[in-house]
């Protein structure tokens, strides 16, 4: 076993043979690591966790402080059950730590001049968080994503168009470097600029693009635009679509709308940018659901309150531990997402746990519109700061003609003359777009349209089908 493992480069710190690529016909990129008995893999994962905790203890004041406070020393972690006692890391802690230790936080474990790539969050909840990525980690992510995309059937003969924003978003860059590593032709087209979708349609055809990476919402929009341009989506020649960033690819109604429109294979993927290689949750078959690629990022589906690992079959929130990151390792990062997991089964071709419905919601109140994470408090902040605000508002998320839309109904101060309203609406919309990174339709409504509350305001109305179904038809084992 040891010889096999070393052949497949199970080393810390990770180092990969960049010239390696399996024969085109081979199903697995690293057959041994992907198909070994899950218990054997868990032994290796435990050893790796101990190494990473010792590394973080030595190099990251953030972790040392945190674990000291909890009375935990890395040497005390002897089993994966022990590991469940390690306190989770919350995104807010990372943000606060970065603010106190500019620019990468005291969880950066390499000298700052070894940071060669920067990505980040959109910063809708306040201070944006920067991801400082060393060259070693960048290459590890490329190798990991190549492996997962290989399992999706992507090969060097493919042309992969990246149809998500190529700015701070780890999603786009992660797909780019993964596809590049496996030898495919890569087309970094991006998304989000005015008129860009019609151009995407034309370029797909012109360049013979075979694989598209993006969000499910964007794929549905693309289908609409293609139809408007008089081009049947199925005639574009795509054979696969790789999705991440939001629920959709594992949700049957959305998935079938995409497959019917484009006649493609659909592959879900994505955990969190902080946990990159975020394709650690990634499909290996053209069907709903994702595998947890445990030797890349150890995923525990946990009780959302106590953060202990739940038995297979249960619903909970994923907690991630990166096993290959040296610059900003994440050790028990809390996602606050919702999923249900199933035990590994060799019948799936890889011995990883499985999330049959992918990630299907969030525990907290954050929502995702067109691939952008939006926090209601960020909207509240903008609206309440607007001169002429009438005292209450509602945030309505709905699905209009296949795209998620965000409507903000805002009461206006009656002292404001009606004729000034269009300018007022425009100013708020512009501000929302800047802060959220996604457009919102602002609708002015008369003062006292909405009830006031003496307790907590419930301003978000989510009309999207998915969340409604979760309420009316909760899956077995749901959290009440
Ligand atoms: C998802 C999914 C999914 C992410 N199904 N919900 O795109 C992948 C990575 C880079 C990403 O989106 O990271 P980011 O921007 O940090 O957002 C993470 C959140 O996005 C995650 O907590 C989920 O709520 C959501 N998400 N991929 C359902 N395949």
How far away, in angstroms, is 392 Cα from ligand 1 center? 30
pLDDT-derived band at 454 (thresholds 50, 70, 90) equals very low
- Choose which residue among 268, 270, 293, 362 to substitute to test ligand 1 binding: the one with the highest number of ligand atoms within 8 A of its C-beta: 270
- pLDDT for 207: 98
Would the CB of 172 count as within 6 Å of ligand 1? no
How far away, in angstroms, is 386 Cα from ligand 1 center? 31
Would the CB of 245 count as within 6 Å of ligand 1? yes
- Say yes or no: domain 1-364 is CATH 3.40.50.12780: yes
Mean pLDDT for the stretch of residues 145-152:
98
Nearest CA to ligand 1 atom 7: 245
How far away, in angstroms, is 410 Cα from ligand 1 center? 29
Residue 124 has pLDDT above 70, yes or no: no
pLDDT-derived band at 451 (thresholds 50, 70, 90) equals confident
Mean pLDDT for the stretch of residues 252-257:
82
- pLDDT for 466: 52
The pTM score is 0.80
- Choose which residue among 173, 245, 291, 335 to substitute to test ligand 1 binding: the one with the highest number of ligand atoms within 8 A of its C-beta: 245
Whether residue 302 contacts residue 148, with contact meaning beta carbons closer than 8 Å, is answered with no
- Choose which residue among 272, 297, 328, 464 to substitute to test ligand 1 binding: the one with the highest number of ligand atoms within 8 A of its C-beta: 272
Atom of ligand 1 nearest to the CA of 371: 12
Domain residue ranges in the chain: 1-364, 371-472
Residue 376 has pLDDT above 80, yes or no: no
Lowest-confidence region among 171-175, 220-224, 278-282: 220-224
Q: What is the mean pLDDT of the chain?
A: 90
Mean pLDDT for the stretch of residues 46-61:
98
Would the CB of 334 count as within 6 Å of ligand 1? no
Atom of ligand 1 nearest to the CA of 170: 10
Nearest CA to ligand 1 atom 24: 337
- pLDDT for 385: 79
Please give the residue that has the higher pLDDT: either 384 or 345. Answer: 345
Would the CB of 337 count as within 6 Å of ligand 1? yes
Residues 6+ positions from 465 with CB-CB distance below 8 Å:
253, 399
Q: HEC profile for the chain? A: CHHHHHHCCCCCCCCCCCCCCCCCCCCCCCHHHHHCCHHHHHHHHHHHHHHHHHHHHHHCHHHHHHHHHCCCCHHHCCCHHHHCCCCCECHHHHHHHHHHCCCCCCCCCCCHHHEEEEEECCCCCCCCCEEEEEHHHHHHHHHHHHHHHHHCCCCCCCEEEECCCCCCCHHHHHHHHHHHHCCCEEEECCCCCCCHHHHHHHHHHHHCCCEEEECHHHHHHHHHHHHHCCCCHHHHCCCEEEECCCCCCCCHHHHHHHHHHHCCEEEEECCCHHHCCHHHEECCCCCCCEEECCCCEEEEEECCCCCCECCCCCEEEEEEEECCCCCCCCCCEECCEEEECECCCHHHCCCCCEECCCCCEECCCCEEECCEEECHHHHHHHHHCCCCEEEEEEEEEEEECCEEEEEEEEEECCCCCHHHHHHHHHHHHHHHHHHHCCCCEEEEECCCCCCCCCCCCCCEEECCHHHHHHHHCCCCCCCC
Q: What percent of the chain shows pLDDT beyond 90? A: 71
Nearest CA to ligand 1 atom 28: 247
Would the CB of 247 count as within 6 Å of ligand 1? yes
Question: How does pLDDT run across 177-212, given as a tens digit for each residue?
Answer: 999 999 999 999 999 888 899 999 999 999 999 999
How far away, in angstroms, is 246 Cα from ligand 1 center? 5
Nearest CA to ligand 1 atom 5: 247
Would the CB of 327 count as within 6 Å of ligand 1? no
Lowest-confidence region among 97-101, 194-198, 476-480: 476-480
Residue 73 has pLDDT above 70, yes or no: yes
- pLDDT for 6: 55
- pLDDT for 183: 98
Atom of ligand 1 nearest to the CA of 215: 7
pLDDT-derived band at 453 (thresholds 50, 70, 90) equals low
- pLDDT for 125: 57
Please give the residue that has the higher pLDDT: either 95 or 377. Answer: 95
- pLDDT for 2: 44
- pLDDT for 435: 87
Q: How far apart are CA 214 and CA 242, in angstroms?
A: 7
Atom of ligand 1 nearest to the CA of 171: 10
Would the CB of 273 count as within 6 Å of ligand 1? yes
CATH of domain 371-472: 3.30.300.30
- pLDDT for 240: 98
In degrees rounded to 5, what are phi and psi of residue 298?
Answer: -80, 115
How far away, in angstroms, is 412 Cα from ligand 1 center? 35
Mean pLDDT for the stretch of residues 88-115:
97
Please give the residue that has the higher pLDDT: either 365 or 351. Answer: 351
Nearest CA to ligand 1 atom 21: 272
Would the CB of 197 count as within 6 Å of ligand 1? no
Lowest-confidence region among 136-145, 385-394, 426-435: 385-394
Atom of ligand 1 nearest to the CA of 270: 27
């Amino acid at each position: 076993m040891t010889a096999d493992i070393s052949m497949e480069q199970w080393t810390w710190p990770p180092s990969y043979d960049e010239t390696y690529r399996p024969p085109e016909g081979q199903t697995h990129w690293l057959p041994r690591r992907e198909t070994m008995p899950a218990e054997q893999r868990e032994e290796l994962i435990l050893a790796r966790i101990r190494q990473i905790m010792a590394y973080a203890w030595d190099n990251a004041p953030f972790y040392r402080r945190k674990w000291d406070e909890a009375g935990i020393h890395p040497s005390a972690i002897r089993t994966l059950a022990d590991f469940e006692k390690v306190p989770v890391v919350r995104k807010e802690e990372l943000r606060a730590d970065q603010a106190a230790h500019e620019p990468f936080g005291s969880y950066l474990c390499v000298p700052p001049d070894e940071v060669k790539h920067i990505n980040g969050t959109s910063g809708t909840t306040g201070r944006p968080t920067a991801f400082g990525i060393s060259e070693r980690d960048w290459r590890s992510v490329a190798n990991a994503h190549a492996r997962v995309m290989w399992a999706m059937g992507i090969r060097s003969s493919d042309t992969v168009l990246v149809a998500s924003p190529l700015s701070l978003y780890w999603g786009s860059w992660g797909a780019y470097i993964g596809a590049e590593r496996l030898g495919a032709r890569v087309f970094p087209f991006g998304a989000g600029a005015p008129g860009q979708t019609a151009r995407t349609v034309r370029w797909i055809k012109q360049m013979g693009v075979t694989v598209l990476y993006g969000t499910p919402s964007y794929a549905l929009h693309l289908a609409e635009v293609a139809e408007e341009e008089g081009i049947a989506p199925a005639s574009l020649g795509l054979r696969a679509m790789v999705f991440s960033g939001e629920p959709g690819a594992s949700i049957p109604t959305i998935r079938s709308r995409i497959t019917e429109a484009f006649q493609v294979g659909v592959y879900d993927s994505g955990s969190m940018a902080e946990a990159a290689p975020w394709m650690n949750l990634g499909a290996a078959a053209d069907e709903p659901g994702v595998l947890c690629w445990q030797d890349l990022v150890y995923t525990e589906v946990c009780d959302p309150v106590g953060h202990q690992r739940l038995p297979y079959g249960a619903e909970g929130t994923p907690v991630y531990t990166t096993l290959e990151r040296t610059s900003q390792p994440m050790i028990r990062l809390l996602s606050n997402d919702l999923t249900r997991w199933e035990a590994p089964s060799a019948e799936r071709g890889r011995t990883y746990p499985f999330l049959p419905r992918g990630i299907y919601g969030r525990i907290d109140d954050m929502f995702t519109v067109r691939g952008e994470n939006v926090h209601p408090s960020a909207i509240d902040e903008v609206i309440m700061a607007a001169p002429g605000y009438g005292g209450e508002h509602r945030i309505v998320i709905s699905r209009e003609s296949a795209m998620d839309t965000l409507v903000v109904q805002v009461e206006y101060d009656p002292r404001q003359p009606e004729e000034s309203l269009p300018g007022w609406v425009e100013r708020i919309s512009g501000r929302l777009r800047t802060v959220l990174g996604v457009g919102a339709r602002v609708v002015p409504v008369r003062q006292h349209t909405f009830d006031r509350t003496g307790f907590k305001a419930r301003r978000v109305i989510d009309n999207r089908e998915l969340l409604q179904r979760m309420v009316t038809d909760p899956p077995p084992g749901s959290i009440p």
